[in-house]
Amino acid sequence: MPDLEVATRRRGAVVVVEPRGFINAHTVHRFEEVLNRLAADGDARIVISGRSLSYVASAGFGAIMGILEEVRASGGDIRISDLNATVAHIFEVLGFDRLCQTFPTEAEAVESFSTAEAGGKSGDP
Amino acid sequence: MPDLEVATRRRGAVVVVEPRGFINAHTVHRFEEVLNRLAADGDARIVISGRSLSYVASAGFGAIMGILEEVRASGGDIRISDLNATVAHIFEVLGFDRLCQTFPTEAEAVESFSTAEAGGKSGDP
Amino acid sequence: MSGAGPSGASLRLEIPATCESLELVHEATVRVATTAGFASDAAGEIAVAVGEAMTNVVVHAYRREEGHDIVVRYAADASGLRIELEHSGEYPDRLPAGIDLAKLVAERRRGGLGVHLMRRLMDRVAHEEVAPGVGCWILERRRREPKDADRKGPDPSP
Amino acid sequence: MSGAGPSGASLRLEIPATCESLELVHEATVRVATTAGFASDAAGEIAVAVGEAMTNVVVHAYRREEGHDIVVRYAADASGLRIELEHSGEYPDRLPAGIDLAKLVAERRRGGLGVHLMRRLMDRVAHEEVAPGVGCWILERRRREPKDADRKGPDPSP
Ligand SMILES: Nc1ncnc2c1ncn2[C@@H]1O[C@H](COP(=O)(O)OP(=O)(O)O)[C@@H](O)[C@H]1O
Ligand SMILES: Nc1ncnc2c1ncn2[C@@H]1O[C@H](COP(=O)(O)OP(=O)(O)O)[C@@H](O)[C@H]1O
């Protein structure tokens, strides 16, 4: 039972990142590696699916913060889907709901990149 | 997240008992209650499905030991199915594999009651 | 050995102060909080807050040096759950103030959220010097009736 | 505070000696054993053995009386994992001998398997008086190469 595995898959021009397990200061480097590589490769349209996430400590939000400017500067964005109640609440109390759009499902998050290129309103505030 | 829930269902003349969670000295009373009630009601053909069991401490085996004679005296038996590797190993080191027949699936365990009334050989030693 | 807490949800844990230990403490915290009667959402939040305090100890107090331990104590009573994390590393004169998330992002910072998150998830967060050279994080979460109605926590949004 | 074990898998846990505490100790044991490099099957077996020792303390040593604690200590090294469970309750002059399962069933006994199961799952099981009035269960499990080949354990079948 690995603590964290990070799966990625392509959905058209969008890359979906699905961390499986939990993200804390011990496991975050695997999540960070994937995000950093995507940002470095110019894969700027990123959906992070929380479907298989049990919890995220602040280190996980730090990994997103660290590349968000770079991703947006190259015309992309990081959007979030499928957060469980605990993760959604942490997302909200940190103010990430005002920083990144969240969607109930991965499909809606992926779709949002084709309907409006940037700055649309949140599908699931 | 309850520690143990015990579901029961009828399959013809057989009652399938499915403990969900883990059985230890704290939770065993719920498992014991169900087994004792079946034995008292004369529901003597019992399959215990381990499909949703994460682990069983010796207390759980004690609950089976406590009614096995009574169930067999009234012409029935207790048969076991779907044990995970840890539970199957504990079953074996305690010598329960020589006491109760085990089967890979619930269907086979249920079926075994119609093919041979008692004392057949173990389907999954 | 100290006596058990009134609800049985008392525990003392002594463990290497490493990131590897975080998950064991997380699991223990979820179980203690659940045993103390918190709903599973609330238990998960308390465990994340305890993880932030422990991460602070590993990263800031002990600067990721090996060979240090941390003591985590849990005590539940009718009003709620109190967790103490004791260490003999460095500790701040005062806790970091509120954060400006947009500014942290603009500066491409990858941290600075830990204490803020603890504060938002718990009803009380403090760091005290409990003996010379011994620092202690104190986290408290009260029971809410009915069923965690005010899920935002007591800290007004900045 | 004691130093960390060589593999980081050291832990000291002090908890009320109740059946309610069993699951927390089970989860902690699984995580310590996994961290120490045991496969998940083996970790589950070690946790069941520790649970049997703890149940023995709750039920036999303290006769289910409230207000007692138990101390559980874990230490991992290159050879394996050692777990000690310290208590100040009653303890047997010598451990129960092997069991006769058919006899237990014929007598409709619902117990008597605990020590036997510990012995079958671990490489060493002992109970020692470590100080006047203080008893201690000692459980050891060695690493097996390759990958737990001898899953039956070292105790020859009776
Ligand atoms: N125990 C400590 N010792 C020294 N400085 C600390 C300590 N805790 C926090 N700080 C300071 O406060 C800042 C913010 O801390 P924190 O909210 O825990 O953020 P982070 O999640 O980045 O650790 C740290 O970057 C550090 O400069
Ligand atoms: N700590 C103890 N103090 C006194 N008697 C004990 C103790 N441990 C075991 N015994 C005796 O040995 C018997 C078998 O113990 P054990 O193998 O643990 O079985 P059980 O699973 O029923 O507790 C018990 O029923 C009890 O009579």
Burial D76-98 (b: 16+ CB within 10 A, else e): beeebbbbbbbbbbebeeeeeee
- Contact call for D4 and C31, based on CB within 8 A: no
Hey, is the C-beta of C156 within 8 angstroms of any chain A C-beta? no
pLDDT of residue D9: 63
Higher pLDDT: D157 or C128? It is: C128
Nearest residue of C to residue D19, measured between CA atoms: C8
Rounded to the nearest angstrom, the distance between the alpha carbon of C153 and the centre of ligand 1 is 22
Neighbours of chain D (3+ CB pairs under 8 A): B, C
Q: Which residues line ligand 2 (CB under 6 A)?
A: B 58; D 56, 59-61, 90-92, 96, 111-116
For residue D97 the two structure tokens come to 């001998």
Hey, is the C-beta of D136 within 8 angstroms of any chain C C-beta? no
Please state, in angstroms and rounded to a whole number, the distance separating the CA atoms of residues D114 and B99: 18
pLDDT(C2) > 70:
no
Range with lowest mean pLDDT among A54-63, C142-151, D78-87, D96-105: C142-151
Burial A11-34 (b: 16+ CB within 10 A, else e): eeebbbbbbebbbbbbbbebbbeb
Hey, is the C-beta of D110 within 8 angstroms of any chain B C-beta? yes
Domain range for residue B14?
4-119
Read off the pTM: 0.87
**Beta-carbon contacts below 8 Å between C and D:** 82
Q: Chain D 85-104, CB below 8 Å of chain B: which residues?
A: 101-102, 104
Hey, is the C-beta of D5 within 8 angstroms of any chain C C-beta? yes
Neighbours of chain C (3+ CB pairs under 8 A): A, D
- Contact call for C28 and D32, based on CB within 8 A: no
Confidence of residue B121 (pLDDT cuts 50, 70, 90): very low
Give how far C68 is from chain D: nearest CA, Å.
6
DSSP per-residue letters across C85-125: EEESS---SS------HHHHHHTT-----HHHHHHHHSSEE
Q: What is the pLDDT of residues D10-57, one digit of tens each?
A: 899 999 999 999 999 999 999 999 999 999 999 999 999 999 999 999
Compute how many other C-beta atoms are within 10 angstroms of the C-beta atom of residue D114.
Answer: 23
Nearest residue of D to residue B62, measured between CA atoms: D110
For residue D73 the two structure tokens come to 């200590």
* Residue A124, domain member (yes or no): no
Rounded to the nearest angstrom, the distance between the alpha carbon of B24 and the centre of ligand 2 is 16
pLDDT(B31) > 80:
yes
Tell me the chain C residues in contact with residue D21 when contact means C-beta distances shorter than 8 Å: 8, 11
Is the Cβ atom of C125 under 6 angstroms away from ligand 1? no
Please state, in angstroms and rounded to a whole number, the distance separating the CA atoms of residues A96 and A76: 17
* Residue B63, domain member (yes or no): yes
**C-beta separation of B24 from B50 below 8 A:** no
For residue D39 the two structure tokens come to 């496969």
**C-beta separation of A122 from A92 below 8 A:** no
* Residue B66, domain member (yes or no): yes
Range with lowest mean pLDDT among A79-88, C133-142, D94-103: D94-103
Mean predicted confidence (pLDDT) in C1-29: 80
Rounded to the nearest angstrom, the distance between the alpha carbon of B4 and the centre of ligand 2 is 25
Give how far D99 is from chain C: nearest CA, Å.
34
A35: CATH: 3.30.750.24
Cα dist from D107 to B67, B90, D10, D85, D110, whole Å: 10, 22, 42, 31, 9
Hey, is the C-beta of B9 within 8 angstroms of any chain D C-beta? no
Rounded to the nearest angstrom, the distance between the alpha carbon of C113 and the centre of ligand 1 is 9
> Which atom of ligand 2 has the smallest separation from the CA of D118?
17
pLDDT of residue D145: 61
- Contact call for B24 and D22, based on CB within 8 A: yes
Rounded to the nearest angstrom, the distance between the alpha carbon of A123 and the centre of ligand 1 is 34
SS3 of residue A42 by DSSP: coil
Is the Cβ atom of C136 under 6 angstroms away from ligand 1? no
Give how far D101 is from chain C: nearest CA, Å.
35
Q: What is the pLDDT of residues B35-46, one digit of tens each?
A: 999 999 988 999
Closest residue by Cα to residue D64 from D54, D74, D73: D54
What are the φ and ψ backbone dihedral angles of C28, each rounded to 5 degrees? Answer: -65, -40
Is the Cβ atom of A36 under 6 angstroms away from ligand 1? no
Q: Ligand 2 atom 12: the closest Cα is on which residue?
A: D96
Domain count, chain B: 1
Please state, in angstroms and rounded to a whole number, the distance separating the CA atoms of residues A25 and C23: 10
- Contact call for A65 and C51, based on CB within 8 A: no
pLDDT of residue B116: 59
Q: Judging by DSSP bridges, how do beta strands B4-11 and A102-103 pair with one another?
A: unpaired
Please state, in angstroms and rounded to a whole number, the distance separating the CA atoms of residues B93 and C145: 48
SS3 of residue D66 by DSSP: coil
pLDDT(C76) > 70:
yes
Please tell me the number of the ligand nearest to residue D98's CA: 2
Rounded to the nearest angstrom, the distance between the alpha carbon of D75 and the centre of ligand 2 is 26
Q: What is the pLDDT of residues B84-105, one digit of tens each?
A: 999 999 999 999 999 999 999 9
Mean predicted confidence (pLDDT) in C50-74: 97
- Of A32, A56, A58, which is best to mutate to test ligand 1, by the most ligand atoms within 8 angstroms of its C-beta? A58
pLDDT of residue B65: 95
Tell me the chain C residues in contact with residue D16 when contact means C-beta distances shorter than 8 Å: 4-5, 8, 10
Q: What is the pLDDT of residues D53-85, one digit of tens each?
A: 999 999 999 999 999 999 999 999 999 999 999
* Residue B125, domain member (yes or no): no
pLDDT(C153) > 50:
no
* Residue A125, domain member (yes or no): no
* Residue B101, domain member (yes or no): yes
**Residue D15: half-sphere exposure toward Cβ, Cα within 13 Å:** 29
pLDDT of residue C7: 44
* Residue B124, domain member (yes or no): no
> Which atom of ligand 2 has the smallest separation from the CA of D111?
22
Best of B30, B71, B93 to mutate (most D CBs within 10 Å, chain D) = B93
Q: Do chains A and C touch (3 or more CB pairs under 8 A)?
A: yes
| Domains, chain D, with CATH or none | 9-144 (3.30.565.10)
pLDDT(A3) > 90:
yes
* Residue A45, domain member (yes or no): yes
pLDDT of residue C51: 98
Confidence of residue A83 (pLDDT cuts 50, 70, 90): very high
